[in-house]
Amino acid sequence: MSDATVPIDRRGLLGLSAAAVIAAATPVRALARSPFLWGAATAGHQIEGNNVNADIWLLEQLKPTLFVEPSGDACDSLNRWREDVALVRALGLNCYRFSVEWPRIEPAEGQFSQAYLDHYRRMIDHCRAQGLAPIVTLNHFTTPRWFAARGGWEAADAPELFARYCDRVARAMAAGMSHAVTFNEPNLALGGPWSRNPPDAKARAAMAALTRAAAKASGSDRFSLLNAGDPAPMIPGVLRAHQLGRAAIKAVRGNLPVGLSLAISDDVAAVPDSALAAKRRAVYEPFFDAARDDEFIGVQTYERTYMGRERAIAPPATVPRRADGKPWEPEAIGGSIRYAHQATGKPILITENGIETDDDTERARFIPAAVAAVDAARRDGVPVIGYIHWSLLDNFEWFGGYRPKFGLVAVDRTTFKRTPKPSARVLARLARGGSAR
């Protein structure tokens, strides 16, 4: 199945006031004063390998599946994480964003793995020892298989279960984190209906068949995960889980900056009576509300979206194009961070921005143009605390398997040898200079 019809793949789917800043005065001001964060991001399931207790691992293994290939060994980062940290350091970046995997830490309900808590704590300690700020995501799409099989985010006690997991993680390693991100793009699936090609009946039926098969394989009557089904009944649980998870982390370490990362395209009105405001109300604003006590908003941007009357429409013919005909709009990140700040009053941490391309010269051109747009927003007063590129490594791109390339660093699929691409040096140069200028 092409990723154009699969909701979990980005390319397939794809206010608050200034008083909020004053309310949260101390940590927010302190954040705005910290050195600018330059980093690269990864996510556990996409790089570690053999995440066998994850909901998505099961979906990959089913026959038939919608995944072009299973994640398998991924980049073997479960064993090679020190190499990954060394790469980030060698590039002269000052932070590394990665996720801890709930399916490893709580492989069976209520059973926590001290060994994996120790593992991730070692990663955090090692980042610190190497002079890197560890930015830790607690949920990057994957949940434990048992969690999905008991109803996922639709189960009444899901927020409490997530908060219990956050408490365990915080007690084991919050001391070393520089920032905690509860959820990665919990709003991604909400964007589907607003996209140019909303998932059609056939795509929805295929996804429903896959989750039915997963339920059967798990001896359950349901198997529920975000990005694989109707998100509407899941979102209230996710919003509450963010707040309870945040509270659990704060109870352990009150001064740790906590936020969530949202998929925010640079939405622009393409017609006078566009659906821009309606999309914002549906896709972003519930999360901005849930984040009102957070110290920052994590923004992840991959595109500009031209909003028509009901949903996105084709970009105008005047938009510059890449060799393959896709729009070339690296400055989209400037628009999304301006919006996220204006809507919330919060400091912005760019937790992901990047480009899918086999041609690394495109990435090498993309990065300075994107950073220039960030610089311009900063000059206009948007408090941006960091730019974290997606991704450090070519990795498992969900439904698309290993074909799509987002990495600053290539990974040999057999030897796992890492080879930095020229674009990595471009980011390194910008990080050394402090801006695109």
Residues that bind ligand BGC (CB under 6 A): 10, 43, 46, 184-185, 263, 300, 352, 390, 397, 406
**Residue among 98, 113, 254, 251 nearest 181 (CA):** 98
Residue bearing tokens 């020892």: 129
Residue among 12 and 159 whose Cβ is closer to ligand BGC: 12
Smallest distance from the beta carbon of 272 to ligand BGC, in angstroms?
31
411 contacts: CB under 8 Å, gap ≥ 6 = 75, 393, 394, 395, 417, 418, 419
Smallest distance from the beta carbon of 96 to ligand BGC, in angstroms?
15
The total of other beta-carbon atoms located within 10 Å of residue 151's CB is 19
Instruction: Please tell me the distance from the alpha carbon of residue 401 to that of residue 66, in angstroms, as a whole number.
Output: 10
Residue among 181 and 373 whose Cβ is closer to ligand BGC: 181
Q: How many CA atoms lie within 13 A of 306 on its CB side?
A: 11
Instruction: Please tell me the distance from the alpha carbon of residue 55 to that of residue 52, in angstroms, as a whole number.
Output: 8
Is-catalytic flag, 83? Answer: no
Smallest distance from the beta carbon of 185 to ligand BGC, in angstroms?
5
Residue among 345 and 407 whose Cβ is closer to ligand BGC: 407
Instruction: Please tell me the distance from the alpha carbon of residue 343 to that of residue 377, in angstroms, as a whole number.
Output: 15
Smallest distance from the beta carbon of 18 to ligand BGC, in angstroms?
29
| Residues forming a β-bridge with 135 | 97, 179
Contact 10, 4 (CB under 8 A): no
Contact 302, 353 (CB under 8 A): yes
Residue among 274 and 353 whose Cβ is closer to ligand BGC: 353
Cis peptide before 327 (omega within 30 of 0): no
Q: Given 48, 60, 106, 185, which residue is catalytic?
A: 185
Contact 298, 259 (CB under 8 A): yes
Name the residue whose CB lies closest to ligand BGC: 10
Smallest distance from the beta carbon of 160 to ligand BGC, in angstroms?
25
Residue among 153 and 390 whose Cβ is closer to ligand BGC: 390
Which amino acid is it at 301? T
Catalytically active residues, by annotation: 185
